[in-house]
Structure 1
Amino acid sequence: MNARNRWTSPFAWLGRVFRVPGEERRSVLQTAKAAAAAVIAWIVATSVLQLPQPFLAPYAAVFLVQATVYRSVRGWAQQVGAVTGGVLLAAGAGQLIPSVTVALGLVVFVGLLIGSWRGFGDSGVWVGITGMLLISYGNATEPVLLADRLLETALGAAIGVVLNAVVLPPLHGERLKEATSRLASAIGDVLEETAALVRGSEPPEAADLLHERLRDVRSLVAEAEEAIGWTREGRYLNLRRRRETGEGQLVNLISLWPPLAQLIDAVSEAAQSDQPFRHPGEYARGVVGELLEALAEVARSGDPDKLDHSRGLVEEIDHLLVTPTDEVTTSIGLGAMALPARRLVQRLDHPDSSEA
């Protein structure tokens, strides 16, 4: 079965390219744009400008078709700056150092140091590499060839940037949808498992498993934050710039993480404690469990009826906390659970406040 999956997975991936406007389709589109940019840069450099050995033109064009238009524009400045630095470094070494071996070592050493400046980003390594190529090819003492290298790089990079910005510039809205779906489902599952632990239908050892699931949720929160970052960056300088629907919903789900972690800590401590006064009585546990189950549905679907029901259950918990009954007055555990549970309801009830 595993062997069959290995053979069929490429076809499944290709099928998603045509069926789903998601990551697979964007990858194919960006790859096609990179190939087209390389061909156009080569044609312009060889047939129009008639530059000798214009290998830097298609290279720069390919690497400037980035995941966002903003990264393409920023990469253009970094790439041109790095290559310019390498060319100038090679020119200086070629004029002042007669030994090619010594010049090569010095250019690589100094170029890599200069390229480590964070302003060059990932392109910084090309300060030293460009200088090394020019020294080793024997072009460092020929000003015309040095100027050609600069022109090739600027040309190829510009073609890559323009093509990426004009031809279906990339957006990342589907990341929001996927991250929202995964995070909402995970939060709902954790809330239901927490409700079962509160009701006492799970053994106390289940608290350890619940903490493991909580770490999974934290990982999905990090993924969601990354998805929002990609989506917002994708709108910078983008001709198709638009505000993706669902961003506010995902921000709201992310905001549930702190009270959710506090709630699970409180439930786990109460479930594992040997001191009876820390664990709420049976009726109170039933109310908290019902609240968490309702919140699980709200997190998954935004059900307004379940949200109204959650508000009523929070009010009932508040009433239990101030009611002088033998079951509740000595319960520290109920108060510890009530605060994060109330915060979960508030954040689901007022999503705009969490986004701000």
Structure 2
Amino acid sequence: MRERLGEVASGIRLPDRYQLVQSLKAAAAAALAWAVTGWWLAAPMALMAPWAAVALVQGTVYRSLRSAVELLAMMASGTLFAAGAAAVTGNTMTAMLIALPLTVLLGNWLPVGEQGLYAPTTALFVLAYGTYSLPAVGHRLLETVVGAAVGIAVNAIVLPPVHSLHVRNLALTLPRDCSRLLHDLSEGIVEEYDEERAEGWHRAAGELPGAMSELRAARGWATESFRYNPGHRMRRSTPSPSERWDVVWAQVGNQLLTITLTLWETASERRALPRPSGAFLKELSAVLAAASEVCAADETIMEQGPDDTCLEERAGHLAEARRALADAKRHLHGPGPDAGASLGSLVAGCQALLDDLTPGEFWPVRVDSRPPEGMATDGIER
């Protein structure tokens, strides 16, 4: 039990600044909506307003506006279905049996995503109020509109969220993870690696596409966070790499998958592919070690910006990797066909890896100095 509790505790992370600010904004929006409806509308139990305000403090201002339309439609539907069923039946339980199936079906049927849940829950709250007259229904709808307006205003005015920093952090993980994997490979292949260790390398390479998917999702959030952001004209900005960066590292990840798969198969007893000789693996280790340094240099370039010293070091490591690959190719002429198959696969994978790491027309050496569409970031960054 102690070990289990330790694992749970180690997996708990403190909320970051973005999460903390958004939570405080949602709480402030709810309190403000409650105060406005209680003072202006004199509502004794103005639950709809703070509820809508909390729901509309979203991750982007655009998402708050889009969700507001869906939320208002769902809450209005739930209110009208509940009030109509109660007026017809005159019984709360009977009205609930009529209104809930209809509102749940409506929320699941319409393309409103998570907002569909607000239709049946609003119907429950309206029935709990116990007043179904036309003025009461209008009061509930007005409370919802006021809460939605407060939630959108707070999210748009008080540190409107942007996500460019999150894109930059994820972009940095791509060369960092590739560098670490290449370093592990360079050290591991000169030892007597077994099938389990080689499988671990291939599994680590298989996690790289997941990082790419996360980066693409973050780019979508970053682009969306600039839409209708009232602070987009401010000068402060967080540079992020262009999408060419993603393409290059997706190709590098594919080559690492190929290389690690070949190493795994040469270590497996179920395959007929023989393990390469120690001399070849030594040359291959030098190739992977130099390629690891190239990836580390790319991480530095991404984080600190390109300078002549860093670019020269990167070019030197890349040249070293090519010299080591040329030495490794000399072993292709000696072994038999089975051994030549494994050597050829590894050499081809390393050749493609170095080609992908070679600067060219589309190589993303320099980062973008401005966010997408010329807009700068503002507010709370993630």
- Whether the TM-score (by the shorter chain) exceeds 0.5 is yes
- State the Cα distance separating 1:125 from its structure 2 match: 1.5
Describe how 1:156-235 pairs up with structure 2 within 5 A.
Answer: 156-198=147-189, 200-205=190-195, 206-217=197-208, 219-235=210-226
Describe how 1:42-191 pairs up with structure 2 within 5 A.
Answer: 42-140=34-132, 142-191=133-182
Counterpart position of 2:358: 349
Are the equivalent residues in 1 in contact too, given 2:287–2:324 (CA < 8 A)? no
Indicate the larger mover: 112-121 or 158-167.
Answer: 112-121
- For 1:24 and 1:58, the matched residues in 2 are separated by 24
Secondary structure at the aligned position of 2:111 is classed as helix
Count of residues in Structure 1 that have an aligned counterpart in Structure 2 = 342
Are residue 326 (structure 1) and residue 334 (structure 2) matched? yes
Are the equivalent residues in 2 in contact too, given 1:89–1:111 (CA < 8 A)? yes
Secondary structure at the aligned position of 2:123 is classed as helix
- For 2:330 and 2:205, the matched residues in 1 are separated by 31
Unaligned runs of 5+ in 1: 14-22
Residues 254 and 243 (structure 1 numbering): CA distance in 2 closer, same or farther, change over 3 Å? farther
- For 1:78 and 1:280, the matched residues in 2 are separated by 61
The one-letter amino acid of 2:334's match is D
- State the Cα distance separating 1:291 from its structure 2 match: 1.9
Are the equivalent residues in 1 in contact too, given 2:328–2:347 (CA < 8 A)? no
Residues 274 and 94 (structure 1 numbering): CA distance in 2 closer, same or farther, change over 3 Å? closer
- For 1:237 and 1:337, the matched residues in 2 are separated by 50
Indicate the larger mover: 249-258 or 274-283.
Answer: 274-283
Q: Which of 238, 260, 263 is equivalent to 2:259? A: 263
Q: Which of 307, 318, 323 is equivalent to 1:310? A: 318
Indicate the larger mover: 315-324 or 44-53.
Answer: 315-324
**So what's the TM-score if we normalise by structure 1?**
0.80
- State the Cα distance separating 1:130 from its structure 2 match: 1.4
- For 1:145 and 1:51, the matched residues in 2 are separated by 10
Secondary structure at the aligned position of 1:236 is classed as coil
Counterpart position of 1:41: 33
Are residue 236 (structure 1) and residue 244 (structure 2) matched? no
Q: Which has the higher helix share?
A: 1
The one-letter amino acid of 1:310's match is L
- For 1:42 and 1:212, the matched residues in 2 are separated by 52
- For 1:220 and 1:71, the matched residues in 2 are separated by 24
- State the Cα distance separating 1:188 from its structure 2 match: 1.4
- State the Cα distance separating 1:336 from its structure 2 match: 0.9
Counterpart position of 2:283: 287
Are the equivalent residues in 1 in contact too, given 2:284–2:328 (CA < 8 A)? no
Secondary structure at the aligned position of 1:81 is classed as helix
Are residue 246 (structure 1) and residue 228 (structure 2) matched? no
The one-letter amino acid of 1:62's match is V
Give me the identity figure in percent. 25
Are the equivalent residues in 1 in contact too, given 2:293–2:317 (CA < 8 A)? no
Are the equivalent residues in 2 in contact too, given 1:321–1:328 (CA < 8 A)? no
- State the Cα distance separating 1:239 from its structure 2 match: 3.1
Are the equivalent residues in 2 in contact too, given 1:176–1:250 (CA < 8 A)? no
Unaligned runs of 5+ in 2: 299-309, 365-382
Indicate the larger mover: 36-45 or 101-110.
Answer: 36-45
Residues 89 and 354 (structure 1 numbering): CA distance in 2 closer, same or farther, change over 3 Å? farther
The one-letter amino acid of 1:83's match is M
- For 1:186 and 1:169, the matched residues in 2 are separated by 32
- State the Cα distance separating 1:159 from its structure 2 match: 1.2
Are the equivalent residues in 1 in contact too, given 2:294–2:317 (CA < 8 A)? no
The one-letter amino acid of 1:126's match is Y
Are the equivalent residues in 2 in contact too, given 1:295–1:307 (CA < 8 A)? no
Superposed CA RMSD in Å reads 3.8
Counterpart position of 1:17: none
- For 1:207 and 1:55, the matched residues in 2 are separated by 58
- State the Cα distance separating 1:114 from its structure 2 match: 0.7
